[in-house]
A and B are shown apart, each in its own frame.
Chain A
Amino acid sequence: MGESLRRHHRVATLTARAVIGIVITCCSGSARFVPVSAQTRLEVVGSIPGPAEHVRVQGTYAYVVAGPRLSIVDVNNPALPKVRGSFTLPEPIYGVAVSGVAVYVANGVGGLAILDVSDPDAPRLLGSLKTRGVALRVAVAGTKAVVGDRTSGVEVIDVSNPAKPVLLGSHYTSGYVTDVAASGSLAYVIDASTDLSLIDISKSGPPDEVSVQESSHRTDIIATAPANSSTRAATLVCISGGGLLQVYDVSDPSTARRVSTHKIPERTAGQAKRAAGPQRSWTSVAGGLAFDGSLAYVAGGSEGLQIVDLSDPAKPKMIAFHRTAGPVRDVAAAGQLVFVVVGETGTAPQESNADARQAGVVVLRRVS
Chain B
Amino acid sequence: MARGWLAAGFIVGALTVASASDQWPRFRGLDAGIAADHPALPDRWSRTENVVWAVDVPGMGWSSPVVWGDLIFLTSAVAPGPIDVPKPGFYTPDYSYPRSTEVHRWMVYAVDFKTGKIRWEREVHRGAPAAQKHHKNTYASETPVTDGERVYTYFGGIGLFVFDLAGKLLWSKPSDPLQMRGWGTAASPTVHENRVYIVNDNDTASSMAAYDAKTGDIIWRVAREESSNWSTPFVWEHDLGTEIVTTGSKKVRSYDLDGRLKWELTGMTSIQIPTPFAKHGLLFISSGYLGDAVRPVYAVRPGGSRDISLKEGETSNRYVAWAQRRLGTYATSGLVYGDYYYSLLDRGFLVCIDARTGNEVYARQRISGEASGFTASPWAYNGRIFALSEDGDTFVMQAGPEFKLLGKNALDEMALASPAIAQGSLILRTASKLYRITNQAAR
Q: Do A and B come from one complex?
A: yes
Residues of chain A lying within 8 A (CB to CB) of residue B293:
175, 192-194, 218
Interchain CB contact under 8 A, A282 and B291: yes
A175 lies within 8 A of B369 (CB): no
Let me know if A132 is at the binding interface, CB within 8 A.
Answer: yes
A145-182 interface code vs B (CB 8 A; 1 in, 0 out): 00001111100000000000000000111111000000
- Which residues of A are found within 8 Å of B364, using beta-carbon distances? 174, 212
Cβ of B374 to closest chain A Cβ, rounded Å = 10
Instruction: Please give the distance in Å from A167's CB to the nearest CB on chain B.
Output: 13
Bound-state Cα–Cα, A194 to B366, Å: 17
> Chain B contacts of A218 at CB under 8 A?
293
Q: Which residues of B sit under 8 angstroms from A149, Cβ to Cβ?
A: 91
Among candidates B95, B291, B373, residue contacting A176 with C-beta atoms closer than 8 Å: B291
- Closest residue of chain A to B288 (Cβ to Cβ) is A175
**B345 within 8 Å of A (CB atoms):** yes
Interface residues of A, count at CB 8 A: 25
Known contacts A109-B95, A133-B92, A209-B366; is A153 also within 8 Å of B291 by CB?
no
A133 contact set on B, CB distance < 8 A: 90-92
Known pairs A109-B94, A133-B92, A151-B92; A172 contacts B373 (CB<8 A): yes
Q: Which residues of B contact A150 (CB under 8 A)?
A: 92
Pick the contact of B91: A151, A173, A174, A209 (CB < 8 A).
A151
**In the bound complex, do residue A206 and residue B347 qualify as a contact, i.e. CB atoms below 8 Å apart?**
no
A: which residues have CB within 8 A of B? Answer: 109, 132-134, 149-153, 171-176, 192-194, 206, 208-209, 212, 214, 218, 282
Q: In the bound complex, how far is the Cα of B373 from the Cα of A153, in angstroms?
A: 11
- How far is it, in angstroms, between the C-alpha of A173 and the C-alpha of B94 when the chains are bound? 21
Given known A193-B326, A206-B369, A209-B366, contact A175–B92 (CB-CB < 8 A): no
> Contacting A175 at CB < 8 Å: which of B95, B290, B366?
B290
Q: Which residue of A lies closest to B348 (CB)?
A: A172
Of all chain A residues, the one with the shortest Cβ separation from B90 is: A151
The CA-CA distance from A230 to B291 in the complex, in Å, is 38
Q: Are B369 and A174 in contact (CB under 8 A)?
A: no
Interface of A is mostly: loop
B126 at the interface (CB under 8 A from A): no
Other A-B pairs, 13, CB within 8 Å; known A109-B94, A153-B347, A193-B293: A134-B92, A151-B90, A152-B90, A152-B92, A172-B369, A174-B349, A174-B364, A175-B295, A192-B290, A192-B292, A193-B326, A209-B366, A218-B293
Q: How far is the CA of A206 from the CA of B89 in the complex (A)?
A: 15
Instruction: Across the interface, name the chain A residue whose C-beta is closest to B91.
Output: A132
Q: Give the interface centre of B87, B95, B293, B348 by most chain A CB atoms within 10 Å.
A: B293
Is B370 an interface residue, CB under 8 A from the partner?
yes
**Contact residues in B for A134 (Cβ distance below 8 Å):** 92
Contact residues, B73-111 vs A (CB, 8 A): 87, 89-92, 94-95
Q: Is the CB of A132 within 8 A of B290?
A: no
**CB-based contact B369/A208 at 8 Å:** yes
Measured CA separation A194–B364 after assembly (Å): 14
Neighbouring A residues of B370 by C-beta, 8 Å: 206
Give the chain B neighbours of A171 by CB distance below 8 A. Answer: 369
Contact partners of B292 in chain A: CB under 8 A: 175, 192
Complex CA–CA separation, A134 to B93 (angstroms): 9
Can you list, as one digit per residue, whether each of B362-385 has a CB less than 8 Å from chain A (1) or not (0)? 001010011001000000000000
Please state if A152 and B91 are interface contacts (CB–CB under 8 Å). yes
Identify 19 residue pairs between A and B in the complex whose beta-carbon atoms are under 8 Å apart, listed by A's number.
A109-B95, A133-B90, A151-B90, A151-B92, A151-B290, A152-B90, A152-B91, A152-B92, A153-B347, A172-B347, A172-B373, A174-B364, A175-B291, A175-B292, A192-B290, A193-B293, A193-B326, A194-B293, A212-B364
User: Which 9 A-B residue pairings sit nearest by Cβ, starting from the closest?
Assistant: A132-B91, A172-B347, A151-B90, A152-B91, A176-B291, A133-B91, A134-B92, A176-B290, A175-B290
Q: A109-B94, A151-B91, A151-B92 are contacts. A173–B369 as well, Cβ < 8 Å?
A: no
How far is B349's CA from A209's CA once the two chains are assembled, in angstroms?
13
Closest CB-CB distance, A109 to chain B, in whole Å? Answer: 6
A348 to chain B, nearest CB (A): 23
Once the chains bind, are B89 and A132 in contact (CB under 8 Å)? yes
Q: Would you call A153 and B290 a contact (CB within 8 A)?
A: no
* Among candidates B87, B95, B366, residue contacting A132 with C-beta atoms closer than 8 Å: B87
- Shortest Cβ distance from A279 into B: residue: B95
Task: Kindly state the separation between the CA atoms of A132 and B135 in the bound complex, as whole angstroms.
Answer: 13
Q: Are A153 and B369 in contact (CB under 8 A)?
A: no
A222 to B64 alpha-carbon distance, docked (Å): 42
Q: How far is the CA of A198 from the CA of B432 in the complex (A)?
A: 38
Whether B347 lies near A173 (C-beta < 8 A) is yes
Q: Given the complex of chains A and B, what is the CA–CA distance between A328 and B188 in angstroms?
A: 47
CB distance from B430 to the nearest CB of A (A): 21
Nearest CB of chain A from residue B121's CB, rounded to whole Å: 36
Distance of A174 Cα from B363 Cα, bound (Å): 13
**A109 to B91 alpha-carbon distance, docked (Å):** 10
Mask, B337-373, CB within 8 Å of A = 1, is 0000000010111000000000000001010011001
**CB–CB B291/A172 < 8 A:** no
Q: Does the CB pair B95–A174 fall under 8 Å?
A: no
State whether A174 and B347 are in contact (beta carbons under 8 Å apart), knowing that A192-B292, A206-B370 are contacts in the complex. yes
Bound CA span A214–B94, Å? 31
CA distance A151 to B136 in the complex (A): 14
Interface string of B273-302 (1 = CB under 8 A from A): 000000000000000001111010000000
Bound-state CA distance A6–B373 (Å) is 50
For B349, list chain A residues within 8 Å (CB): 174
Q: How far is the CA of A214 from the CA of B292 in the complex (A)?
A: 15
Taken together as a complex, chains A and B put the C-alpha atoms of A214 and B364 apart, in Å, by 11
How far is it, in angstroms, between the C-alpha of A173 and the C-alpha of B349 when the chains are bound? 10
Given A192-B292, A208-B369, A153:B90 Cβ within 8 A:
yes
Residues from chain B with Cβ under 8 Å of A153 in the complex: 90, 347
Residue of A nearest to B371 (CB): A172
One of A132, A172, A193, A209 near B295 (C-beta < 8 A): A193
| Chain B CB within 10 Å, residue with most, of A153, A208, A282 | A153
Interface pair B92/A172, CB less than 8 Å apart: no
CA distance in complex: A174, B91 (Å): 14
Q: Which residues of A contact B95 (CB under 8 A)?
A: 109
A273 to B319, CA, bound (A): 34
Q: Inside 8 A of B291's CB, which chain A residues have their CB? A: 175-176, 192, 282
Give, as a whole number of angstroms, the nearest-CB distance from B228 to chain A: 16
Residue among B94, B290, B345, B349 with the highest chain A CB neighbour number at 10 A? B290
Please measure, in the bound complex, the distance between the C-alpha atom of A40 and the C-alpha atom of B90, giving whole angstroms.
46
Give the distance in Å from the alpha carbon of A46 to the alpha carbon of B347 in the complex. Answer: 46
Give the Cβ gap from B67 to chain A, nearest Cβ, in Å.
33
CB proximity of A149 to chain B, nearest CB, Å: 8
- Among A132, A151, A152, A175, the most chain B Cβ lie within 10 Å of the Cβ of A175
Cα distance, A134 to B292, chains bound together (Å): 17
Q: Which of B87, B90, B326 has a CB less than 8 Å from the CB of A172?
A: B90
In the complex, A209 Cα to B365 Cα: how many Å?
12
A149 nearest CB neighbor, chain B only: B91
* A109 CA / B95 CA spacing, docked (Å): 8
| A203 to B: closest C-beta gap in Å | 12
A263 nearest CB across to chain B (Å) = 18
Tell me, in angstroms, the Cα distance from A171 to B372 when the chains sit together. 9
Chain B residues contacting A151 (CB-CB under 8 Å) are 90-92, 290
Residues in B whose Cβ lies below 8 Å from that of A212: 364
- Point out the residues of chain A lying under 8 angstroms from B373, CB to CB: 172
